[in-house]
Each structure stands twice: as C-alpha cells, then as structure tokens.
Amino acid sequence: MAQYSRLEVAAVMKETGMVPLFYHPDIELGKNVMKACYDGGARLMEFTARGDFAFEVFLALNKFAIKELPGMIMGVGSITDAAAASFYMQMGANFIVTPSLREDIAIACNRRKVLWSPGCGSLAEINRAEELGCEIIKLFPGSTYGPGFVKAIKGPQPWTSVMPTGGVSTEESNLKGWFDAGVTCVGMGSQLISKDILANKDYVALEKKVSDALALIKKIRSN
C-alpha cells in the first residue's frame, strides 16, 4: 500500500521540481544510488521497471526507502497496463508513470488514490488525462516537443501541470528553458544518474550532482 496520497506526492513534485529516474538490476547498487540522491536533497525516485524481475528490485528498494530514508517517495515508471500498475501498488508504489495515456491504469490508480502520470503528446491527450483525474501530465518524449510546446499549452490552460521526461539535462540553460515555459517539475534519468557514475560507483559525485540540480531549479524559480 502507498505511504503517500496522490496529493502529497504531487505537492512534493511541485516543491522540489525534480524526479530522478533510475533502473539497474543490482539491488545494492540501487540502494546506494537512492541514498546519494536522498542525501543530495531528492525526495522522489521513479524506478523505471524495464528489466526482467524488476519487481524484485523495486520491492527491495522500496522497503529500504521506508526503513532508511524517511520522506523518500518511491514510484515506478514504464508501466503499460493496469495489471502491472496494480502489482506495483501492492508493493507500495506511491506513484505510477506510464509512457502513454491508458485509461485502465487511470481507473486502477484512482481507485487507490495513487498518483498516476501518463505520457501525453497532444492537447487532446492532456485534456483526456485531466478529465480522468490526472494531477501532473508527463510530457514524453520531452525532447520531441520542447519548452515551446509547454508554453503554448499553458496559455489557454494555465491549470495544467507538466513534467517533461526526456530532453532534460542538468545544464542551466536547459532547466531555465523548461521552467520559464511553466513546467511543474522535470524527470531526469541518464543526464543525472549517468552511466559513468554507475560504472564507477561514484555516489559522492551523484550526491553533488543532485544537490546542484535542485539548487539550480530553486534559483531559476526564484527569478
């Protein structure tokens, strides 16, 4: 069962402005990555469930977060059907992220009051997701649409909350472009938790990278 309601998760997304994305089959490495992100100030983690037996890794990491990282909100991404969403919610997923808009997932998550963020790529999809109760839209792939797309949407629909994933980096110009366009938060994967950091197990560098990115987001928002 989720530890946090969808409104609580949405509030933390808005407050921190960043959701790190991560997948690796090694549980111990995953724990170290989570702790580095946590120590850097992140309070959300999207585990992208793409590998074989990914559920075993997620279960171990979520138990670790609950026990050792108070306030760390674990969710799961790359979910493509309601059965998988329900399965991960049974393991305590606090939010569900999907690559596309799936009404069956919306129904399953709404029943448990768990936040779900569907990948949308058109105004019609965004409107339908919001009609189904979505709090924060995932713009995916963000690199295809860009900040201009977000700005255009926010004109007629200032109430729409957007989280781009893909095409987001830790560079100030990139983050400034997205937040100036009006995004609520950003999802960041390999640009934050890079292959080099994982290969070298450089958790100190990861902690600093997370801390610097969050500080940059705070600075951009305050201007």
Question: If you average pLDDT over every residue of the chain, what do you get?
Answer: 97
> What residues form DSSP beta bridges with 139?
120, 164
State the DSSP code for 156. Answer: T
CB 78 within 8 A of CB 48: yes
Q: Any idea of the CA torsion for 125, 119, 98, 2, to the nearest 10 degrees?
A: -90
> Which parts of the chain are beta strand (E)?
18-22, 44-48, 73-77, 95-98, 115-120, 137-139, 162-164, 186-188
Cα Rg, the chain, nearest whole Å = 16
How far, in Å, are 12, 172, 215 from residue 218 at the CA level?
14, 11, 5
CB 169 within 8 A of CB 191: yes
Q: Percent of the chain, pLDDT > 90? A: 99
* pLDDT the model gives residue 191: 95
3-state secondary structure of 78: coil
Q: Can you say whether the dihedral through the CA atoms of 80, 82, 87, 92 is positive or negative?
A: positive
Q: What is the pLDDT of residues 99-157, one digit of tens each?
A: 999 999 999 999 999 999 999 999 999 999 999 999 999 999 999 999 999 999 999 99
* pLDDT the model gives residue 223: 84
Give CA–CA dist 194/191, Å, rounded.
Answer: 6
Kindly report the number of other CB atoms within 10 A of residue 196's CB atom: 9
Q: What is the pLDDT of residues 144-184, one digit of tens each?
A: 999 999 999 999 999 999 999 999 999 999 999 999 999 99
> What is 34-66 written as a DSSP string?
HHHHHHTT--EEEEE--STTHHHHHHHHHHHHH
